[in-house]
């Protein structure tokens, strides 16, 4: 079956760095998304990776290794507003989205 | 495994026809479901909130007469795109919300469906 795993919850300190991992097993691969979702709001697009490597976008970076079925989202200089759920989703061979359950990130002062 | 399913996964239709997309929650009852539209590699735009047994709440700018939502049971919500036009071609995603436990530490959890790709010719 198709599956995406990411930690349920993580805690980090304001100003620090946190890495949220995502591993996937899907039938085919057409790209991996990271979304941020604050409680009660729609998910916000953070990144899309389809090739191996690291893509940096401000304080957020996303890494992909297709051979390992692995991605991570790296958040630097954490701010309180970064407290949210982070969703990993993969497009399979049919461009169906396979969703992870999300990682709840708690930022402490 | 998936907890929310959508049907069909993809549909191609002629301009002017209507298309119905189903969203089902598997193994749980969802009093609230959400319908989103995803633009290429972009954020999900919330279209409407569907509550079982009542009228859907539409976001500003979404035509409620064009995008009909019915949440007839606790496990099924449908989105009907009426008189579809090529500009309606998009990826439509639903999600179902499990309410947080009363007094518990967790907030509501949303589970997303795999999406339906609509192409209007």
DSSP state of B101: P
A contact test, residue of B110, B111, B118 with most A CBs within 10 A: B110
Q: Is the confidence at residue A29, as pLDDT, over 60?
A: yes
Q: What is the pLDDT of residue B67?
A: 96
Residues 6+ apart with CB under 8 A from A6: A20, A21, A22, A23, A86, A88, A100, A101, A102, A103
Assess B43–A contact: CB distance below 8 Å, yes or no.
yes
- H-assigned helices in B1-121: none
The shortest CB-CB distance from B43 to any of A44, A89, A101 is to: A44
> Cα torsion at B4, B10, B13, B16 (round to 10°)?
30
- Render pLDDT for B40-49 as a digit per residue (tens, 0 to 9): 666 688 899 9
pLDDT under 50: residue ranges of chain B: 102-107
B107 closest CB neighbour out of A39, A48, A99: A39
Cβ contact B116:B21 at 8 Å: yes
Question: Above pLDDT 90, what percent of chain A?
Answer: 74
Whether the CB of B29 is below 8 Å from some CB of chain A: the reply is no
Q: Which of B48, B117, B85, B38 is nearest to A35 (CA)?
A: B38
Report the Cα A7 to chain-centroid distance in Å.
10
């Amino acid at each position: 079956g198709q599956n995406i795993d990411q930690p349920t919850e993580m805690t980090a300190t304001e100003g620090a760095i946190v890495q949220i991992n995502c591993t996937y097993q899907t039938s085919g691969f057409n790209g991996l998304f990271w979304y941020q979702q604050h409680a009660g709001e729609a998910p916000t697009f953070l990144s899309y990776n389809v090739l191996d490597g690291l893509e940096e976008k401000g304080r957020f970076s996303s890494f992909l290794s297709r051979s390992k079925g692995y991605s991570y989202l790296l958040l630097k200089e954490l701010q309180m507003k970064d407290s949210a759920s982070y969703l990993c989703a993969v497009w399979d061979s049919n461009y169906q989205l396979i969703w992870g359950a999300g990682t709840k990130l708690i930022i402490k002062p | 495994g998936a907890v929310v399913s959508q049907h069909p996964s993809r549909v191609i239709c002629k301009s002017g026809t209507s298309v119905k997309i189903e969203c089902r929650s598997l193994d749980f009852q969802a009093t609230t479901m959400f319908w989103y539209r995803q633009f290429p590699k972009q954020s999900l735009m919330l279209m409407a909130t569907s509550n079982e047994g009542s009228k859907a709440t539409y976001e500003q700018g979404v035509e409620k007469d064009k995008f009909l939502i019915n949440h007839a049971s606790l496990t099924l919500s449908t989105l009907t795109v009426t008189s579809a036009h090529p500009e309606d071609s998009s990826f439509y995603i639903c999600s179902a919300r499990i309410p947080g436990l009363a007094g518990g530490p967790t907030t509501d959890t949303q589970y997303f469906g795999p999406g339906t790709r609509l192409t209007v010719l």
